Structure 1
């Protein structure tokens, strides 16, 4: 998820929501002790109303320890991203429970862009298949927007400006953008677009180009939605632009390895077979 743009994914192709900017949150309650041990900090959240806030420790575990569905969501994320990855780049986990919110989850960078926060909506997390897809989408945001892929904002940016910074010329995002978004010219939503009406209109004009209508929001959402589909679906058979986007990931051995790992991890949960 993106720098402060809520990333929402709706069912069918699971319009996943990510966020990634500065989360506007105020501490309203400090950690406390209960009969079951320490309780997490409670903070206000723009998307979920209130959230429980957990610190991610150096071994990928949470402080304080989560329980119930909050713990299940975090453990599922660890299975998607691996414990080592979470231990290295995740700083915080925020669990909300907002039945009226259409946001499933989002991620954003901390003040130190090397570290990330995952926020999840427990009200929409009980569907195992949707949860796995959502977290794959959020994982895709992290690996395509981290500091090896996106540099700081710069007046001399050689690629294109985003709220997250300036994508490196050799980044996955720039390669994806140049191949699939540059041909649209000025008619395409810009990289920071979050207007769902604009996204829907653009999708209706180019339905065969996208794996979901949410993917048409901007190039950042498109690469995350396409990566999610790449992981969960069979190798594409066809030459539509949407199929070409999935084939894009098949050209990257490291991403193919990630796909195989995730599919093996969730083979029983999702009934996957390679």
Structure 2
């Protein structure tokens, strides 16, 4: 998923760093001697702070890092890959120290009042449209499943243990006129996504409009269908149509200007069949849409069933050197696994302490091609790949290393070549900057 990164306001603030009392092996008043791997990780954690961070900060963070690594190594040696509460607490301390130094060097965010957004739930329209097809009993059961699902998501309810897609499909498949996969996609989409129309992808990769009565959306006039089909034409002016062979659907709609530009999502639980959604409100003449389209296709290439294993309802833990999240685990020979080991393994636990932490991006700006790339490892991979395709060069050596990563794969070099050929032949304008409105705190160029 690709979103617009909004501007940031912050004020400079200077803080005093209080030296932590630590115990450990080594010299210098109990400060542990770090291994080569720990020193490498410490430098990675500091990121853009490294050059200006005082010795006291390095010692504090280093001591905590040594402590948590000792615990992690002992745990993994016993075949236990679930982080302990003690380790989690230490990582929170590491992040707090890094945040404090980030504020000292780059400034603190102001406590602006959060922008109030009207609560909307466009999925209710889909539910309303289904009333004429489903029995009252089935409609109520389906509605309850949906409401319980979103309640669990909004409350971050870890105890929620319902295969909501399977439960919904068990109801919907009783009605032959309905496309169960499409209905579930629309019902479980983010509440703020106003889906306007859905197209199914044919065997020869044509996008054919699916009548709303089959998927719960409003049925459109021919003129409205033709207008929405323009989004498919704009996407396939950038990407070859035959790349959409694994895609079952193409959906048009969204949350309006900015917000979510587009996304891809598996239709099945293995990641074999996919849907791409595009918000036509974000297809403008600023030349940024090509980055979005390539970003989303890269998600498919790196998150399909050949690249990752989807976990479903099972809870599993893996060694630190293996990429995994709540949804999937990367296969050992996958692009995502290689990218993770090259660029994220040393910083992942700092990020995971608070994935919404803006200071994480601030101290790693030189490593990310956009602010959105710092969202997580998978988004960084997709953003970096779109930059690899369209940018002539990177702003920093750290970003250039990511572009070189893709260039080391002959098949990805070929995809880049094909995309650039499509863009040239179809006269698609591409902005020479992937994030033209974002100010960076670094000035180094290569």
* TM-score (norm. length: structure 1): 0.76
Q: How far did residue 188 of structure 1 move? A: 2.6
3-state SS of 1:55 partner? strand
Q: Distance in 1 between matches of 2:308 and 2:348?
A: 22
2:295 pairs with one of 131, 137, 140: 137
Give yes or no for contact 1:141–1:224 (8 Å, CA) kept in 2. yes
Task: Indicate how the Cα distance of structure 1 residues 181 and 156 shifts in structure 2: closer, same or farther if over 3 A, else same.
Answer: closer
Q: Which has the higher helix share?
A: 2
Give the alignment of 1:185-224 within 5 angstroms: 186-189=349-352, 195=355, 197-198=356-357, 200-224=358-382
Give yes or no for contact 2:240–2:422 (8 Å, CA) kept in 1. no
Other-structure match for 1:93: 250
Q: For each residue in 1:155-183, what CA deviation from the matched residue of structure 2 results, as whole angstroms up to 9, or x when unmatched? A: 36562322441110111111011011112
Task: Indicate how the Cα distance of structure 1 residues 152 and 103 shifts in structure 2: closer, same or farther if over 3 A, else same.
Answer: closer
Task: Indicate how the Cα distance of structure 1 residues 250 and 235 shifts in structure 2: closer, same or farther if over 3 A, else same.
Answer: farther
RMSD between aligned residues: 3.0
Is residue 428 of structure 2 the alignment partner of residue 269 of structure 1? yes
Is residue 259 of structure 2 the alignment partner of residue 102 of structure 1? yes
Q: How far did residue 49 of structure 1 move? A: 2.4
Unaligned 5+ segments in structure 1 are: 2-6, 13-23, 31-40
Give yes or no for contact 2:406–2:412 (8 Å, CA) kept in 1. yes
Choose 1 or 2 for highest CA Rg.
Answer: 2
Q: Distance in 1 between matches of 2:128 and 2:238?
A: 31
Q: Distance in 1 between matches of 2:373 and 2:292?
A: 13
Q: For each residue in 1:207-262, what CA deviation from the matched residue of structure 2 results, as whole angstroms up to 9, or x when unmatched? A: 11110111011000100000000001125586x21110111111111111111111
Other-structure match for 1:75: 233
Q: Which has the higher strand share?
A: 1
Other-structure match for 1:61: 206
Q: How far did residue 9 of structure 1 move? A: 3.3
Task: Indicate how the Cα distance of structure 1 residues 56 and 177 shifts in structure 2: closer, same or farther if over 3 A, else same.
Answer: same
Q: Distance in 1 between matches of 2:430 and 2:329?
A: 39
Q: Distance in 2 between matches of 1:272 and 1:205?
A: 26
Other-structure match for 2:409: 252
Task: Indicate how the Cα distance of structure 1 residues 116 and 27 shifts in structure 2: closer, same or farther if over 3 A, else same.
Answer: farther
Q: Distance in 1 between matches of 2:431 and 2:4?
A: 22
Other-structure match for 2:109: none
Q: How far did residue 10 of structure 1 move? A: 4.1
Give yes or no for contact 1:76–1:132 (8 Å, CA) kept in 2. no
* TM-score (norm. length: structure 2): 0.49
